[in-house]
Amino acid sequence: MKLNWVYWGKLYESKFQAGCLAKRMEEDWWVYGYECPQTVEVFRSKKGKFGVRYML
């Protein structure tokens, strides 16, 4: 089975902002009843903004 990345729907101006979301996804998603992703990654878009992608 091939795993695919799921991309968060918003891009951020700074790597810090995207990193905060990524850490929250890793640590706090269980609070909201979601399955915690196994891999979370901050990436840089072609236009220079930062985003978060993850695999469940």
- Counting the structural domains of the chain, the total is 1
* Strands in the chain per DSSP E: 6-7, 39-44, 50-55
Chain centre to alpha carbon of residue 50: 10
- Structural domain that includes position 32: 6-55
Q: What is the pLDDT of residues 1-56, one digit of tens each?
A: 567 888 998 999 999 999 999 998 888 777 767 777 888 999 999 999 999 999 87
Residue 1 lies in a domain: no
pLDDT at 20: 94
The answer to whether the beta carbons of residues 48 and 38 sit under 8 Å apart is no
12 domain-assigned: yes
Query: What's the one-letter identity of residue 20?
Result: C
Residue 8 CB coordination number (10 Å): 16
Q: Provide the sign of the torsion angle of the four alpha carbons 39, 4, 32, 12, taken in this order.
A: positive
The pTM is what? 0.80
